[in-house]
Amino acid sequence: MKRRESFRWRGWGTLGRRCLVVLLTALAVLNSATAADDRYLVPATGAAVLCGAALLVRRLPWYASAVPATVATGLWGWPLLPLLLVALFDLAVHRRARLAMGCAAAALGANFLIPPAISLWTPQRYGSTLFVLLALVLGLWVGNRRRLLKALGDQVEHLRVERELREEAARAAERSRIAAEMHDVLAHRLSLIALHTGVLTARSEPLPAPVVERLALLRTASTDALADLRDVLGALRDPGAEAAPAAPGPVLRDVRELVEQARTAGQRAELEVDGRPEQAPAAHRLAVHRLVQEALTNARKHAGGAPVHIHLGYGPPATTVEVTNAPGSPAAHAVASGFGLVGLRERVTALGGHLHAGPNGAGSWRLAARIPHPAPLGQNGGTP
């Protein structure tokens, strides 16, 4: 959209310049005819038309428009001065100030040799010089402004691309974190299934043949599923994570641990929980842990000393998280990147929920997420 608007403004600028050149060419033709006793078929009018045509074609080299305008103004004086000013302006815009000053000096010097009636030095001796200086200064200013705007536009585009890359990296890191967490949780549960089926098949009491066959099939399926899980989800881990030692502690940590750690660090945090964590799927509990962790971290960074209220709901039909904090004083050297929220939004969206984070009035901040519980298997066409 911004690029389209830039092209639109550039198109209007080109159209305006062409209209100005056409108007100045007509003025030069009229002045040349007036200086030649109202005769239009004279060399001066032809030179004016030629110079105007050269100025209209922007892709020509600089000398194709500057040299004819300089020669014409040097031979026929002030009637051709407007076209010379446009040529000098173009040279100054494109960082050719020395060439512009040379063309201006050549035209002014040549006017000492032409009749006073059309010379640039009459009737006011220095009037034309002031116009030439004004064209040069204005051209230099416009050229510098264009280059500055272009540099700023390139910098903004670079920052936009860099931010998109960082957001994508944050999403990829969050997806890798989700894969690692779910790998650990599901691998643990599948291992339990394989262990219990192995215990059942090793019982001393004889079991019916169909039951033994089903138990063997269940153990084989759970073992194969565990291997497939390690292949699929384990491949999504961070490549450097395998070499690093595993973090101690259980995967499904309680949110109360985070709140207690925050209180130990001097943060005022209140926790309100509706329902039991076991009512929500493991992926939801992992998301709740990450949401509360990010919210507490942001509150410490940007609202130091402000109370934080955390409300969690685990019961169906959805898992809900709402964290609000009052305005406070930002921590020293706190930099707001926003990429943590990008990763959290990726996690919540992957679970079919939505996340909102933003001002909540009176300087407070609110983070709210809602993740719907998956439908029972019987409602998805599976067997109950």
| Residue 246 banded pLDDT, cuts 50, 70, 90 | very low
Q: Does pLDDT of 5 surpass 80?
A: no
Lowest mean pLDDT among 40-49, 111-120, 187-196, 346-355: 187-196
pLDDT tens digits for range 23-55: 999 999 998 888 888 888 889 899 999 999 998
pLDDT tens digits for range 104-117: 999 988 988 888 88
Sheet holding 269-274, edge to edge: 269-274, 308-313, 318-325, 365-372, 354-359
* All residues at 6 or more sequence positions from 35 whose CB lies less than 8 Å from its CB, including other chains: 44, 76, 77, 79, 117, 118
List, in order of start, the domains of the chain with CATH numbers: 2-125 (no CATH), 255-377 (3.30.565.10)
pLDDT tens digits for range 64-83: 889 999 999 989 988 899 99
Whether pTM exceeds 0.85 = no
Q: Give the relative orientation of helices 62-76 and 81-93 as an angle to the nearest 10 degrees.
A: 150
Q: What is the mean pLDDT of residues 86-99?
A: 91
Q: Which residue has the tokens 């059942």?
A: 200
Q: What is the mean pLDDT of residues 193-212?
A: 69
Q: Are 312 and 293 in contact (CB under 8 A)?
A: no
Q: Does pLDDT of 245 surpass 70?
A: no
Q: Does pLDDT of 234 surpass 60?
A: no
Smallest Cα–Cα separation from 186: which of 281, 119, 315, 84? 281
Smallest Cα–Cα separation from 57: which of 8, 14, 4? 14
